[in-house]
Amino acid sequence: MSVGDAAEPAATPGTEIGDYRVVGVIGRGGMGLVLEARHARVGQRAALKVLTSGRRGVGDSAVRRFLAEIDVLTRLDHPGLVRVLDAGDSPVHGPWVAMEYVAGDVLRAQLVKADGAPLPLAFALRIGRRVASAMAAIHRAGIVHRDLKPENIMVVPDDEVPGGQRVKLLDFGIAKLTSDDAGHTTEGTVLGTAGYMAPEQCTGLGDVDERADVYALGVILFEMLTGARPFAGASSEVMRQHLFVEPPIERLPSALPAPLRALVTAMLAKEPTRRPATPEVVARLRALEAEHAGALEDEPALPHADTLPARVVPAETVAGHRLRLAQAQQPSTASLAAVSRETPAAPVAKRRWPWVAGAAAIAAGVVATAAVTMRPGARGAKPTLPALPGMVVVEGARFGMGSTPEEVAAACAELGGCDEAVKPQLARESPVRQVTVSTFQIDINEVTNREFSAFLNANSSVIGLREDSDEHYPRFVVDEVTRQTLFDLYVDGGIERRADGTFAAKAGKDDLPVIQVTWDGASRYCRHAGKRLPTEAEWELAARGVERRRFPWGGEAPRCDGVRFGRGKVGTCADASPTLASVGSSSQDVTASGIHDLAGNASEWVQDPFVSPTYTDCGACRDPIAVAASTSGDDLRMFRGGTLKGPAWMTRTTTRSRWKRDAVSDGIGFRCVAR
């Protein structure tokens, strides 16, 4: 027994707690002890969890979490979860719960034993799939774990399953019942373990759903496959990386199956809606396991909400420490509270800061509450109407994305011709691929100089300037935390930096679309606004519709007086005004749903990296997004739509173009979407 355990009377061998007699200590965490015990009459071995003496006060949040954990444990029956045997409230030792005793090692022990080397592929696939299966069960019941990590995954010998090992998910102490959170987590509280926390967990806003667990499992898979987590450092630095730094997918061994690399990449997406749902993770891992690890056991049936036991811990139990467990008709399930070897992030005071400034505070060692979160909601669910201010709802649909060879040939023939230099760009529109996109909302107008200036000013605490290497004046706006270039204060642009250090639109350019913005600057703006950049598929559905419009407004060719395009020296509209127009002012360039300027004025950044070949037919998949960056040496990102100086064929709804992520252009702006 350790010195710490000696201060806990419950840890003394022979101590009786309920009908159980303590044998010894299994582990100790920040909230409680896990004890080996035996039933006093029948001798059944059990893992007994109790709170430490310092965490039993009526007002202590540990009590709420302990009771909420018991509430979780009694609702499910799954081989990946530990069964509850009994529970009670001791006058001396406080609330306790007895769970089945399982002998094995936590996954962390396996990783430590490997000493930085990847675990065998078959083992990683089996463990990952079984964890995903248990997660699918808890998610179906409306429960989010929120602290999934190798310390909370027990690997248990079992000769009756392929591979000879099962998993048991442990420690639901900070789990959340999504349908009826018991009030034990509030906005401004950051809960979890930094190395495995999803970006939305790092903000502390409380809008965390099952997709946070998918992200955590993505980190665990990455760690098993590479020998290390994607991000390392102090907790504050790791949280900053979760928020802003793309995961180093290139560290995944090149010999891994491509579908596995794609799955891990998708699970680690910053935006929750880009991650696959848990049942999809299970299905994809099962397919990989069958191919690379051999035999599979049958997948346990997922619970149905109407078959689950009722909530069993009334609110008054929190104050009195009285546990009233309902009698469930089926064996209930549990979680053994594993000993955490990595300190969870501490709760912080409620405070609202801009998203980027919040990240700066994290980098400085202060976990800050951000002003915006990536929007929650069920995958594929329609947003609540009406749309957010300044946005239009685009109904989800399945449609043919891209152009047929005949459509490309017609565009060249009818819209000014296409020389050899542009044929590779036009080839990117083919083949037509069937995609399904969930309902989303999109900005009516492109982001303006006025709006982007306000964003820069709101994040002035982390904004810096870098000099132009030739002309030596403060030109490039950079994020001091990530060192990413966000914007170019080029003399011909629409934003200037005033003598007092603030940013403002130049005279007469307030309502022009912002240009000279990098992909990172555009993405950061959207996140700051609680939105994100659209995917290519979303952008094309908004511009084209299910009826496959040739232009955003329909089939009529663009007119110089109605669309801002062709203003180059030898362009179709060379005699027209050569300047950008205020957003929303081009009379022809508007969709039936009221979205302006998709064909001209400024082209627009989208989320997707450039890949070649482009999307294949995605069949039954939903909300596709490219997941692999270019191998050309440059990180190339896609932009869509026509531009002020672009030719007529670029005004079509299928035009696809690429540009360097960290570079700017006088023809590229952006707009945002939300769900």
> Under 8 Å CB-to-CB from 4, ≥6 apart: which residues?
28
Beta-strand relationship, 397-401 and 153-157: unpaired
Q: 414 or 633: whose pLDDT is higher?
A: 414
Higher-confidence residue: 610 or 506?
506
Q: Is 147 a catalytic residue?
A: yes
Nearest to 97 by CA among 89, 107, 105: 89
**Whose CA is closest to 244, among 217, 224, 271?**
271
Mean pLDDT for the stretch of residues 199-209: 75
Given a cut of 60, whether residue 105 has pLDDT beyond it is yes
570 and 490, same structural domain?
Answer: no
Asked whether residue 315 is domain-assigned, the answer is no
Structural domain contains residue 21: no
Alpha carbon 327 to its chain centroid, in Å, reads: 38
Q: Are residues 529 and 667 in the same domain?
A: yes
Q: How many CA atoms lie within 13 A of 256 on its CB side?
A: 28
Q: What are phi and psi of 597, to 5 degrees?
A: 65, 35
Q: Could you read off the pLDDT of 445-488 as tens digits, one per residue? A: 999 999 999 999 988 888 889 888 777 778 999 987 677 899 99
Q: Exposure string (b/e) for 177-208, b if CB count within 10 Å is 16 or more?
A: beeeebebbeebbbbbbbbbbbbbbbbbbbbb
Residue 178 has pLDDT above 50, yes or no: no
Check if the beta carbon of residue 480 is closer than 8 Å to that of residue 473: no
Q: How confident is the model at residue 562 (pLDDT cuts 50, 70, 90)?
A: very high
Q: Assess whether 395 and 486 both reside in one domain.
A: no
Same domain, 639 and 575: yes
Task: Domain count for the chain, please give it.
Answer: 2
For tokens 């994607």, the residue is 230
User: Measuring CA to CA, how many Å separate 368 from each of 188, 236, 342?
Assistant: 8, 10, 20
Sign of the torsion angle spanned by Cα atoms 643, 647, 649, 655: negative
**pLDDT > 80? residue 626:** no
Does residue 252 belong to any structural domain of this protein?
Answer: no
Domain check: are 414 and 547 in the same one? yes
Note the pLDDT of residue 192.
63
On whether residue 154 sits in a domain, the answer given is no
Helices (H) and strands (E) in the chain, counts: 16, 25
Judge whether 229 lies within some domain.
no
Q: How far is CA 197 from CA 80, 212, 241, 288, 363, in A?
A: 21, 7, 11, 25, 15
Where in the sequence is the domain holding 496, given as residue range(s)?
A: 461-500
More confident residue, 381 or 74: 74
Q: pTM of this prediction? A: 0.52
Catalytic residue among 71, 77, 147, 171: 147
Does residue 114 belong to any structural domain of this protein? no
Residues 553 and 638 both lie in one domain: yes
Sheet holding 440-443, edge to edge: 391-394, 440-443, 673-674
Considering the domain architecture, whether residues 496 and 620 belong to the same structural domain is answered as no
User: Any idea which of 36-40, 55-59, 177-181, 295-299 has the lowest mean pLDDT?
Assistant: 177-181
Looking at the structure, do residues 569 and 420 belong to the same domain, yes or no?
Answer: yes
Q: How confident is the model at residue 617 (pLDDT cuts 50, 70, 90)?
A: low
Q: Do 490 and 629 share a domain, yes or no?
A: no
Q: What tens digit of pLDDT does each residue of 56-78 get?
A: 554 455 566 666 666 666 667 78
pLDDT at 616: 63
CATH number, domain of 420, equals 3.90.1580.10
pLDDT in tens, 506-527: 999 999 999 999 999 999 898 8
**pLDDT by residue (tens digit) across 5-21?**
445 777 788 888 888 99
Residue 619: the pLDDT is 66
Q: How high is the pLDDT of residue 368?
A: 28
Does residue 203 sit within a domain? no
Say whether both 441 and 572 belong to one domain.
yes
- Residue 223 CA, chain-centre distance (Å), reads 18
For position 171, what pLDDT does the model report?
72
Strand partners, 48: 35, 98
Alpha carbons 476 and 664: distance in angstroms, whole number: 10
* Residues 570, 534 share a domain: yes
Does residue 593 sit in the same domain as residue 550? yes
pLDDT digits (tens, 9 = 90+) for 566-601: 998 767 898 888 899 999 999 999 999 999 999 999
Tokens 């692999």 sit at which residue? 628
Q: Is residue 473 part of a domain?
A: yes
Determine whether 631 is exposed, middle or buried from the number of CB atoms within 10 Å of its CB (0-12, 13-18, 19+).
exposed
